Amino acid sequence: MGRSPCCDKLGLKKGPWTPEEDQKLLAYIEEHGHGSWRSLPEKAGLHRCGKSCRLRWTNYLRPDIKRGKFNLQEEQTIIQLHALLGNRWSAIATHLPKRTDNEIKNYWNTHLKKRLVKMGIDPVTHKPKNETPLGLSKNAATLSHMAQWESARLEAEARLARESKLLHYQSKASSHNHHGFTHKSLLTTWTTKPNQGNTDQQQQQQLESPTSTVSFSDIKEPSTGISAKMEFVGSSTGLALIKEPENDWISTTIFEATQMAEGVEEGFTGLLLGGDTLGRSFSTDKNEREGNNNDGECNNYFEDNKNYLDSIFNFVDPSPSDSTPIF
DNA sequence: AACGTGTTCAACCGCGAGGTG
DNA sequence: TCACCTCGCGGTTGAACACGT
């Protein structure tokens, strides 16, 4: 695999950025878009490598960055998503508007990780350190399935977000810029339901539309090979999996839970954030089961997930409806 | 005030994925 | 198919800062 020469080899500047450099980079990108990072420094009159410029832009100069302290909601989101996704900071960052993956990573390493350790929670597994893993194996496997799907969705969202941003800056600079950027929406890779053969503009609208729908068919669950039909509803909204009639699968639950969460928080992540929502959705299921006690496998699934997810939520937020800080 | 220690976070590094010719 | 290139990600580093003695 080829590798770009490092800054040292090119004799380029390293280390902290000066205000002058920031200004040059900012002015250039606002005027032309970033285009190829590789060629940007020369065009912008910077003695930096493209990588350094990209990092400075994405982590510091970008106008849509929120700086300063993380609030409680953000902290909870990070912890909960970390429990599902591990150190996949870019995926986590897609659910924290205006926060960069670097910032989240730093915050986790310097604050949240230590707090969990203090609370006796393993920051890697998100389980109490004295808990035996045996009792959780089935639940862990279930959560793992959910995490796989959520991971896939987050990756897709991250791509959409990136492409959407690219489009934004590209269009902003369109009167000046002719880098030949071609927007290849993820939606063109997948089967687009409402309008195929979209123009870029239409695609962008679709990307940003809260009601855009992408349908999948014959999706295979990674570890089991079970097929299902799946639908994304909204650009950053819930994963709604519609199960195949013959398959009794996790998808059903996510779909139902998403319906429960409607109007409260967005999608599966909203489910995670809104412990109350989750509680209501599961307890509703439980109530239904108590009144209509059949379908044992399904019951076990709901019970297992409720217990396991509750265990995660209880670690981080013992009283979801209460806004009292937990740390 | 001076020093040592701990903490923070911007920036760097190396790697892998994906695109292209 | 392969080599090369660009980009983005996650882990790590180290300068700057905060705090305690």
pLDDT tens digit sequence for A89-116: 999 999 888 899 999 999 999 889 888 8
Q: Is the CB of A91 under 7 A from strand C?
A: yes
Give the dihedral sign, CA A128/A134/A136/A139. positive
Q: How far apart are CA A241 and CA A149, in angstroms?
A: 10
Encoding tokens for residue A125?
């597994």
| A298 CB burial (10 A radius; 0-12, 13-18, 19+) | middle
Residue recorded with tokens 């990070």: A78
Q: Is the CB of A290 under 7 A from strand B?
A: no
3-state secondary structure of A229: strand
Q: How far is the CA of A229 from the C1' of B1 (A)?
A: 71
Q: Which residue has the higher pLDDT, A289 or A314?
A: A314
Query: What pLDDT does A52 receive?
Result: 93
- Candidate CATH numbers 3.40.640.10, 3.40.50.150, 3.20.20.70, 1.10.10.60; the one for domain A16-61: 1.10.10.60
pLDDT tens profile A236-289: 333 333 333 333 333 323 332 333 333 333 333 344 433 333 333 333 333 333
| Residue in A28, A38, A30, A99 with CA at minimum distance from that of residue A70 | A99
Residue recorded with tokens 């079970």: A226
Percent above pLDDT 70 for chain A: 36
Annotate A51-116 with DSSP letters as a single string: HHHHHHIIIII-TT---S---HHHHHHHHHHHHHHSS-HHHHHTTSTT--HHHHHHHIIIIIHHHH
Q: How far apart are CA A295 and CA A299, in angstroms?
A: 6
Q: Is the CB of A5 under 7 A from strand B?
A: no
pLDDT tens profile A8-47: 455 788 889 999 999 999 999 988 888 899 899 989 999 9
Residue A325 predicted with pLDDT over 50: no
Q: How far apart are CA A310 and CA A146, in angstroms?
A: 14
State the nucleotide closest to A22 in CA–C1' terms: B10
Q: How far apart are CA A172 and CA A149, in angstroms?
A: 34
Q: How far apart are CA A80 and CA A69, in angstroms?
A: 18
Q: How far is the CA of A87 from the C1' of C10 (A)?
A: 8
**For chain A, give me the number of helices (H) and strands (E)?**
15, 4
Q: Is the CB of A102 under 7 A from strand C?
A: yes
Q: Is the CB of A198 under 7 A from strand C?
A: no
Domain coordinates of chain A in residue numbers?
16-61, 134-172+184-308
* Element containing residue A152 per DSSP (H, E): helix A137-172
Q: How far is the CA of A54 from the C1' of C7 (A)?
A: 9
Q: Is the CB of A48 under 7 A from strand C?
A: no
Query: What pLDDT does A305 receive?
Result: 41
Chain C nucleotides reached by a protein CB under 7 Å: 3-12, 16
